[in-house]
Amino acid sequence: MKYVLVSGGVISGVGKGIIASSTGLLLKTIGLRVTSIKIDPYINIDAGTMSPIEHGEVYVTDDGGEMDLDLGNYERYLLTTLTRDHNITTGKIYQHVIERERIGQYLGKTVQVVPHITNAIQDWIERVAKIPVDDSGAEPDVCIIELGGTVGDIESAPFIHAVSQLQRRAGRGNYAQIHVSYVPVLPPGPGGEQKTKPTQRAVSDVRSAGLNPDLIACRCEQPLEKSTIEKIANMCQMDRKQVIAVHNVSTTYHVPLLLERQKLLNTLSDLLDLTSVQLPTQRIEQGGKMWKNWVDLAHSQDHLRDTVSIALVGKYTSLHDAYTSLSKAFEHSAMHCRKKLKIIWVDSSHLEDETLEGAPAEFHKAWHDVCTADGVCVPGGFGTRGTLGMIKAITWARTKKVPYLGICLGMQLAVIEYARNVLGIEDAGSEELHPNAKNHAIVYMPEVDKTKLGGTMRLGKHPCIFQPGTEWSRLRALYGSAPQILERHRHRYEVNPEMVDQIEAAGLSFVGKDVKGERMEIVEIRDHPWFVGAQYHPEYLSRVLQPSKTVLGFFAAAAGCLDEVTQTISKDA
């Protein structure tokens, strides 16, 4: 097994995840099987109970793992299927060690951070690195490990010690480290000086912590000057080729191209002795085709003129990372449709009458954004705040025939909106949002433990069956003749089964249900250009080279090319 560790210094959020994913992509394009592991030093067992505003979105894997959003980058770039164990947290490691201690696995020894915690981390990495992550079912050749946070954080110390020891376990020629640093420009803007001192200090810190980077990836708002690169190499006792410049580009999909032009693959091949890995011709050809498709998509975005605007009406829009997978899914669909994407971030609470009274400018701006958008999307979320504004946006999209996509909460609110405004059930509501309502269109799933939050939802991949008589469905047409689809879920509420017949009789069709036909998965309106609600999260399975068909259909409808896209997919199938 070959390992590539990606660590960070100077500041967090500098782009380790994109650089790690891009590195993995380049390795995959030469035929290697690549897996990835994300280390998060926080004490939480997983990201399931974290606020999206604080930590960004919670990403969900096939097996129901709730984890850091960077795992989504790996899956989207590498076309892999990761597991809950591919995300390591302090909480998981300590829980694992304590459970072993309780049953006497350590034979009476005093359990300590070194060696017990650090050994457990290494054992975990070596075990998970061997898990197959693609359709071949074969063990990966290379494992990309991203160390979250910045080197020097107190909580990172056991992990730094562990990955330092892992280098010795792996052996010479099987381990390389990329340290991502930040090069600020002072004063900011053109003409400012590129400051190398933070990177010099970051490299000094990481070396004093026991790690020895083989490459420095320097992030900067603008291309690094030759003199800056040479100074960093000189002051950090490295060759010029060991300093990789990663400046801001038009889209993150250009980052792999940027790394490729600087011959990152050649350098990694020398460090990891990649020529010793025997690769079948078929895998090399597949990798080459993957790279060609990636380059074509990345370059195509630079020459597009037609823009499609999507109003994303949510409650966490103050932090765009809260909807990372969804915004990326829109990007994938835009590239497929050869359109430029403009996401309009609308705080749903600004659509409510209370905002009109207290902040009329925000109210009118929010409604202008919704009314002028080519499509309206209401994503998932929890809690009552802003849900009335979401319902109002749904009413607009339904009555004005504007393409609409509701995901999880957005699907449930579409059912409530329809029950209220079409069926005339004024107090139709949700057990979560409207506990005192007499008519709950949305109810707790019976198996949910209401006393806990973490890990109690319906999580992971579950099948959805298209129902007989729904051949008219625009969404179903995108999936071809497949009677069922598999999508990832994250919810604890569902449509009230007792109200299904009444709602369908009024024109809101449940075109997709679970295997037993008891749980509603997809709603759709027949005489609408595109009005679809999905209980699942289609964004989790969207890939750069394989867009989610649910999101693609919505975007194509907003772009006015749904029929063309549907015909193309049917022809390819």
Tell me the pLDDT tens digit for each residue of 41-68.
999 998 888 888 887 899 999 999 999 8
Query: Is 323 or 573 the better-scoring residue by pLDDT?
Result: 323
Q: Are residues 486 and 365 in the same domain?
A: yes
What is the three-class DSSP state of 87?
strand
Distances (CA, A) of 108 to 94, 194, 432: 17, 55, 48
Q: Are residues 217 and 348 in the same domain?
A: no
Q: Give yes or no for a contact between 48 and 40, defined as CB atoms under 8 angstroms apart.
A: no
Q: Are residues 433 and 540 in the same domain?
A: yes
Q: 412 pLDDT exceeds 70?
A: yes
For helices 562-572 and 549-559, angle between their N-to-C axes, nearest 10 degrees: 140
Q: Are residues 258 and 330 in the same domain?
A: no
DSSP letter at 401?
Answer: T
What is the three-class DSSP state of 564?
helix
Q: Are residues 108 and 169 in the same domain?
A: yes
Across the strands, what pairs with 246? 219
Confidence of residue 455 (pLDDT cuts 50, 70, 90): low
Show which of 295, 315, 349 is a domain's final residue.
Answer: 295
Q: 456 pLDDT exceeds 80?
A: no
What is the mean pLDDT of the segment spanning 351-363?
93
Residue that the structure tokens 């995840």 belong to: 17
Q: Which pLDDT value is given to residue 453?
A: 66
* Residue 201 Rama label (left phi>0; alpha psi -120 to 50; beta): alpha
Instruction: Kindly give, in sequence order, each residue whose CB lies less than 8 Å from that of residue 306, ignoring residues fewer than 6 positions away.
Output: 338, 339, 340, 559
88-130 pLDDT per residue, tens: 999 999 999 999 999 999 888 999 999 999 999 999 999 999 9
Q: Are residues 50 and 91 in the same domain?
A: yes
Return the structure tokens found at 391: 């319902």
Q: Give yes or no for a contact between 140 and 130, defined as CB atoms under 8 angstroms apart.
A: yes
294-315 pLDDT per residue, tens: 999 888 888 888 999 999 999 9
Show which of 295, 327, 356 is a domain's final residue.
Answer: 295
What is the mean pLDDT of the segment spanning 386-412?
97
Q: Are residues 259 and 329 in the same domain?
A: no
Range of the domain at 472: 304-570
- Euclidean distance between the first and the last CA atom of the chain, given in angstroms as a whole number: 36
CATH of the domain at 62: 3.40.50.300
Q: Which pLDDT value is given to residue 149?
A: 83
Q: Are residues 311 and 284 in the same domain?
A: no
Torsion of CA 232, 237, 240, 246, to 10 degrees: -40
Q: How far is CA 133 from the centre of its chain?
A: 17
What is the mean pLDDT of the segment spanning 469-474?
94
The model's pTM: 0.92
Q: Are residues 196 and 167 in the same domain?
A: yes
d(CA 440, CA 428): 6
Q: Which pLDDT value is given to residue 52?
A: 84
Q: Are residues 257 and 308 in the same domain?
A: no
Show which of 251, 275, 295 is a domain's final residue.
Answer: 295
CATH of the domain at 378: 3.40.50.880
- Please, what is the average pLDDT of the chain? 93
Q: 330 pLDDT exceeds 80?
A: yes
Q: Are residues 342 and 285 in the same domain?
A: no
Strands (E) in 302-423, as ranges, are: 307-314, 340-347, 375-378, 404-407
* Number of structural domains found in the chain: 2
Residues with a known catalytic role: 408, 537, 539
Q: Are residues 241 and 343 in the same domain?
A: no
DSSP letter at 274?
Answer: G
